C-alpha cells in the first residue's frame, strides 16, 4: 500500500472550513463556498473541473490539498431493493453502508467507526472488536457515494451503521452538519438521525450543538437486563439516560426520542417487560421501534415469534406510545440491523473472549 497522504482533505471540512482553506490561500470566502458546493452538491472531486474557481486557486489547491474518498469495494443488492456497500478506507480498513428504499423515501445507514467498542451482546459489529474512529471525509464519503450511485441525494440519513457515533463526537457532528447544509445534501433536521447506545454526557453535548433526531438503543426496560445486553448501561444507567433523553427533546412538542428495541426470544419480549417499558418511558415523548433480531454466526440469541412481537407492540400502543415493528430488510446480504461486520483487525482481543454465554446468564423475567 502506498503512503497515505498528509495533505488536507477538503472533504473533512464543513462550509466554514472550506472558506478558511481558500482564505488561507489568499482567495475570497465565496470561493470556499463554491468549493464546498462542487464537492457535495455536484459530486465533483477534481479541482480542475471546478470551473468557477479561479485557475490560480485550482492550481493552489492541487499543490496543497488532496480529495480522498473511501472507495466502493463491493456492492451487494438485495431482492427487496436494499443495497449494502463495502467501502475501503485509505488505510485498507473497511466499513459497510446500507441503502434502504421505502416508496419515495430513501435511507442511507452510515457507519461512524471501524468496528465498535461497546460490546452489545446481540450485535455482530461488536463481535469484531474496535479499530478506530472514522474521520469526517470517511463518514460523509459514504453519503457522497450513495448520492452518486443512486443519482440523487437520500431523503434520510441514519447514523446507525458500524460504531457508536457519540464516541466519535466531533467527526459525527461535522458530518451531520454537512448533510444538512443547503449547499450540500439539504437534509432537514428530522431527516438526520443519530443512534446512540447511551453515552449520557455526549447526549447533553449534542443538544448544545446539533438539532438532529435522536434514537437510543434501549433493548431492555430495567438496569439488570440492560447491563447484560448493553454494557455501557453499567456506566450510564437508566436513571441517568432517561433524563438526558427527556432534556434532548424539551421545548419542541413535535420531537420524540426513537427507542430501538431488538426483540430477543425469551429475553426481553414478555408482556411484563412491556409494562416495565411503559413505566420507564412515562413523561418522555417517544416512538418505539421493535426490531426482529437478525441471527448471525456465533450468536446465542433467538428471534421472538411474530405473535409475541405483535402482543408486545399492541400493549405499548394501548398505553398511547407510538410503536412500530420494523420490517426486516436485506437479510440475505447481512444488511439488517446489527449485522454490519466490515473486516477489521481486532486490536482489543475481544474475539477471543466474547461472552457467548450471555443468553444463559440473563434474567428473562
Rg (alpha carbons) of the chain, rounded to whole number:
21
* pLDDT (mean) for 174-195: 97
For 351, other C-beta atoms within 10 Å of its C-beta total: 11
The catalytic residues are 96, 337
pLDDT band at 349 (very low <50, low <70, confident <90, very high): very low
Q: Which string of b and e fits 60-87 if b means at least 16 CB within 10 Å?
A: bbeeebbbbbbebeeebebeeebbbbbb
Does the structure show a pLDDT above 70 at 348?
A: no
Does the structure show a pLDDT above 60 at 334?
A: no
d(CA 178, CA 158) in angstroms, rounded, equals 14
Does the structure show a pLDDT above 50 at 243?
A: yes
**Percent with pLDDT over 90 in the chain:** 76
116 is annotated as contributing to ligand binding: yes
Q: pLDDT per residue over 123-172, tens digit each?
A: 777 677 788 999 999 999 999 999 999 988 899 999 999 999 999 999 99
d(CA 302, CA 300) in angstroms, rounded, equals 7
Tell me which H or E stretch contains 184.
none
Q: pLDDT per residue over 208-231, tens digit each?
A: 999 999 999 999 999 999 999 999
164 is annotated as contributing to ligand binding: yes
Does the structure show a pLDDT above 90 at 108?
A: yes
pLDDT value, residue 332: 54
Lowest mean pLDDT segment, chosen from 34-43, 226-235, 329-338 = 329-338
The CATH number of domain 71-361, selected from 3.10.450.50, 3.20.20.70, 3.40.1580.10, 2.160.20.80 = 3.20.20.70
Lowest mean pLDDT segment, chosen from 70-79, 305-314, 338-347 = 338-347
CA distances from 95 to 112, 114, 267 (A): 9, 6, 30
Lowest mean pLDDT segment, chosen from 81-85, 137-141, 361-365 = 361-365
Q: Return the C-alpha cell found at 202.
A: 455526549
d(CA 316, CA 226) in angstroms, rounded, equals 19
Output 1 or 267, whichever has higher pLDDT: 267
* pLDDT (mean) for 175-194: 97
219 is annotated as contributing to ligand binding: yes
pLDDT value, residue 3: 65
pLDDT band at 116 (very low <50, low <70, confident <90, very high): confident
pLDDT value, residue 354: 36
pLDDT value, residue 121: 75
270 is annotated as contributing to ligand binding: no
Q: pLDDT per residue over 61-71, tens digit each?
A: 999 999 999 99
pLDDT value, residue 211: 94
Cβ contacts of residue 42 below 8 Å, gap of 6+? none
307 is annotated as contributing to ligand binding: no
pLDDT band at 351 (very low <50, low <70, confident <90, very high): very low
* pLDDT (mean) for 4-17: 93
Q: Are 72 and 150 in contact (CB under 8 A)?
A: no
Question: Where do the CATH 1.10.150.530 domains begin and end in the chain?
Answer: 10-64
Q: Which fold has domain 10-64?
A: DNA polymerase; domain 1 (1.10.150)
Mean pLDDT of the chain: 89
Q: Return the C-alpha cell found at 112.
A: 461512524
pLDDT value, residue 253: 86
pLDDT value, residue 341: 56
Does the structure show a pLDDT above 50 at 304?
A: yes
Does the structure show a pLDDT above 50 at 353?
A: no
Looking at the DSSP bridge assignments, the partners of residue 114 are 132
Amino acid at each position: 500500500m502506498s503512503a497515505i497522504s498528509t495533505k488536507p482533505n477538503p472533504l473533512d471540512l464543513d462550509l466554514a472550513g472550506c472558506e478558511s482553506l481558500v482564505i488561507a490561500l489568499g482567495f475570497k470566502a465565496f470561493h470556499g463556498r463554491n468549493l464546498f458546493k462542487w464537492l457535495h452538491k455536484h459530486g465533483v472531486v477534481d479541482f480542475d473541473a471546478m470551473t468557477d474557481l479561479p485557475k490560480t486557486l485550482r492550481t493552489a489547491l492541487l499543490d496543497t490539498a488532496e480529495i480522498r474518498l473511501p472507495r466502493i469495494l463491493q456492492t451487494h443488492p438485495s431482492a427487496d431493493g436494499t443495497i449494502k456497500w463495502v467501502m475501503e478506507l485509505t488505510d485498507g480498513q473497511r466499513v459497510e453502508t446500507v441503502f434502504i428504499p421505502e416508496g419515495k423515501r430513501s435511507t442511507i445507514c452510515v457507519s461512524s467507526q471501524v468496528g465498535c467498542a461497546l460490546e452489545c451482546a446481540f450485535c455482530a459489529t461488536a463481535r469484531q472488536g474496535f479499530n478506530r474512529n472514522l474521520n469526517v471525509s470517511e463518514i460523509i464519503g459514504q453519503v457522497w457515494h450513495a448520492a452518486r450511485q443512486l443519482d440523487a441525494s437520500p431523503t434520510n440519513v441514519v447514523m446507525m451503521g458500524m460504531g457508536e457515533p457519540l464516541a466519535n463526537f466531533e467527526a459525527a457532528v461535522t458530518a451531520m452538519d454537512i448533510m444538512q447544509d443547503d449547499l450540500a445534501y439539504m437534509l432537514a433536521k428530522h431527516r438526520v438521525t443519530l443512534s446512540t447506545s447511551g453515552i449520557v454526557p455526549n447526549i447533553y453535548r449534542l443538544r448544545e450543538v446539533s438539532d438532529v433526531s435522536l434514537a437510543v438503543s434501549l433493548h431492555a426496560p430495567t438496569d439488570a437486563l440492560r447491563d447484560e445486553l448493553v454494557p455501557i448501561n453499567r456506566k450510564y444507567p437508566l436513571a441517568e439516560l432517561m433524563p438526558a433523553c427527556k432534556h434532548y427533546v424539551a421545548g419542541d412538542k413535535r420531537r420524540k426520542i426513537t427507542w430501538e428495541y431488538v426483540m430477543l426470544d425469551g429475553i426481553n419480549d414478555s408482556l411484563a417487560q412491556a409494562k416495565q417499558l411503559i413505566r420507564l418511558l412515562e413523561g418522555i415523548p417517544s416512538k418505539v421501534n421493535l426490531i426482529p433480531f437478525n441471527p448471525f454466526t456465533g450468536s446465542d440469541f433467538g428471534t421472538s415469534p411474530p405473535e409475541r412481537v405483535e402482543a408486545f407492540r399492541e400493549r405499548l400502543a394501548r398505553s398511547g406510545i407510538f410503536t412500530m415493528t420494523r420490517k426486516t430488510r436485506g437479510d440475505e446480504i447481512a444488511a439488517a440491523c446489527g449485522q454490519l461486520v466490515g473486516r477489521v483487525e481486532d486490536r482489543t482481543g475481544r474475539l477471543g473472549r466474547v461472552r457467548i454465554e450471555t443468553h444463559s446468564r440473563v434474567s428473562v423475567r
